[in-house]
Amino acid sequence: MENYTTDTRGSNVIPIFHGVEPSEVRSQTGYYGEALAKHKLNNKIKREVNSWTKALATAASLSGWDMTNGNTTEHIQKIVTRISSELLGLMQHSKPSAETSADTGLIGIDARTQELKSLLEVGTGGVLKVGISGMWGSGKSTLVSSVYDTISYKFEGCSFVKNVRDRSRMHGLKMLQEEILSDVLKLKVTLSDNDHGINLMETRLCQNSVLIVLDDVDHTDHLEMLVGSDEWFVDGSRIIFTTRNQDLVNTRSSLAHNVRMLDVKEAVELFSRRAFGKSAPAQGFEEVSQNMVSKFGGNPSALIRLGSFLHGKHINEWTGILNRLEGRLINEILDEFKTPDDGLARKFFPTFVTEGEKAVSSRSSLCSITPPFLTEEEEAVSPRCSWCSIT
């Protein structure tokens, strides 16, 4: 505390008062006053005592933790929780900048993350359920994952449930209920059936503020059995779900949010990073890149696959492909990209995939690429997509 000056107040200091009143420390009365008075009689440390006096006064004036009353164990648990939350917050704020995010393929994610965070109003009262809608490949999963990473430390319990649609079909909703309860309660939970899960969630989730994200929801049962009604949750809790079903957003959410597609500048950059390995088109490819990107409506997933597919190809092949795209509607083109079909590239551009390319494509190094922008519904498509042989 002696070094705690106006130049170092970016640091977080939490004074803890145990067995002493903050007012005694601030004014140096009681035992503190008696001890300091004795030390001042020692000329060898008189100067140090003066600095101690100022430091103690400064500490007592800060917002701290008074443990004078209550159970010591409970106080310690709350102190640890608060410090852990603040440390997690500092770690999140030290994450890569927008420039770094762009280098990893997450073009435009920072602005979209901030938009959703503003909508959530974390720290205010009430229980909010926010439905995130958007077509396949729009980046819904990436967005909610980014938001979760930046705000989860502010809640007492958190759970991010991936691929709700596919996992519920394979394993049932009971497993997902167990996952949520285990995450939030920080202990292993085993349920006998769905009804047991609902009863336990009703009684346990309401004890602390929670953040729950359900990624890729496609049926009302998912919401009813995993996040139920607002009465399940305490004030300040936030529920987020992503879906391609607009009806679910309209009927089961407090707030609706539609994921914005990439604008022209963002789309060209994302496409270029896949096609050329840099943020802008290579010399001689500027115009054809702009024209190619304009056919895909700013859809991140399609642009990643397209850029990877065109990587290393001659400009004549680019021009031929662009000619085949002329006159086709954006939605029609995108429908081709979301079909999980090994022969997609050959069906869509049969005259541009030679026998030599067929032989190479089976062992192409592109097969090792896992696009950072693809999660949720895109993951179901990407393993078998021959556009860029992504696995």
Q: How far is CA 353 from CA 5, 68, 346, in A?
A: 68, 77, 6
Answer whether residue 80 shows pLDDT above 90. no
Which tokens hold the place of 211? 């953040």
Mean per-residue pLDDT for 182-196?
91
Query: Cβ-count burial of 177 within 10 angstroms (0-12 exposed, 13-18 middle, 19+ buried)?
Result: buried
pLDDT at residue 3, rounded to an integer: 54
Band (101; pLDDT cuts 50, 70, 90): very low
Mean per-residue pLDDT over the chain, rounded: 76
Which tokens hold the place of 249? 């957003």
- Separation of first and last alpha carbons in the chain: 54
**Least confident piece of the model among 30-39, 55-64, 358-367:** 358-367
Mean per-residue pLDDT for 48-71?
77
Buried b (16+ CB within 10 A) or exposed e, 112-145: bbeebeebbebeeeebbbbbbbbbbbbbbbbbbb
- Is the torsion defined by CA of 291, 295, 299, 304 positive or negative? negative
The set of residues, in sequence order, having a beta carbon less than 8 Å from that of 386 and lying 6+ positions away, is: 341, 342, 343, 344, 345, 346, 361
DSSP of 210-237, one letter per residue? Answer: EEEEE-S--SHHHHHHHT--GGGS-TT-
Helix (H) or strand (E) holding 161: strand 157-161
Confirm if 246 and 137 have CB atoms less than 8 A apart.
no
Express each pLDDT in 118-151 by its tens digit.
899 898 888 999 999 887 777 888 899 989 988 9
Mean per-residue pLDDT for 91-96?
46
**Least confident piece of the model among 64-78, 149-163, 330-344:** 330-344
Which tokens hold the place of 261? 């597609």
Confirm if 308 and 390 have CB atoms less than 8 A apart.
yes
Which tokens hold the place of 73? 């164990």
pLDDT at residue 15, rounded to an integer: 81
Answer whether residue 366 shows pLDDT above 60. no
Q: At what angle do helices 264-275 and 300-310 cross, to 10 degrees?
A: 40
Confirm if 63 and 8 have CB atoms less than 8 A apart.
no
Q: What percent of the chain has pLDDT over 70?
A: 75
pLDDT at residue 87, rounded to an integer: 65
Alpha-carbon distance of 27 to 98, in angstroms, equals 48
pLDDT at residue 340, rounded to an integer: 47
Answer whether residue 102 shows pLDDT above 50. no
Q: Nearest-CA neighbor of 337 among 300, 363, 369?
A: 300
Express each pLDDT in 5-51 by its tens digit.
444 445 667 788 777 777 777 787 877 778 878 887 887 787 787 88
Express each pLDDT in 202-235 by its tens digit.
999 888 899 999 999 989 999 999 998 889 999 9
Q: Nearest-CA neighbor of 364 among 325, 324, 308?
A: 308
Bridge-based pairing state of the strands 128-133 and 238-243: parallel
pLDDT at residue 144, rounded to an integer: 92
Answer whether residue 378 shows pLDDT above 90. no
Band (90; pLDDT cuts 50, 70, 90): low
Bridge-based pairing state of the strands 210-214 and 157-161: parallel
Q: Which residue has the higher pLDDT, 228 or 68?
A: 228
Express each pLDDT in 238-283 by its tens digit.
999 999 888 888 888 778 888 888 888 988 999 898 888 888 999 9
Express each pLDDT in 167-183 by its tens digit.
999 999 999 999 999 99
Band (82; pLDDT cuts 50, 70, 90): low
Mean per-residue pLDDT for 349-354?
44
Q: Which residue has the higher pLDDT, 376 or 252?
A: 252
Q: What percent of the chain has pLDDT over 90?
A: 23
Q: Which residue has the higher pLDDT, 322 or 347?
A: 322
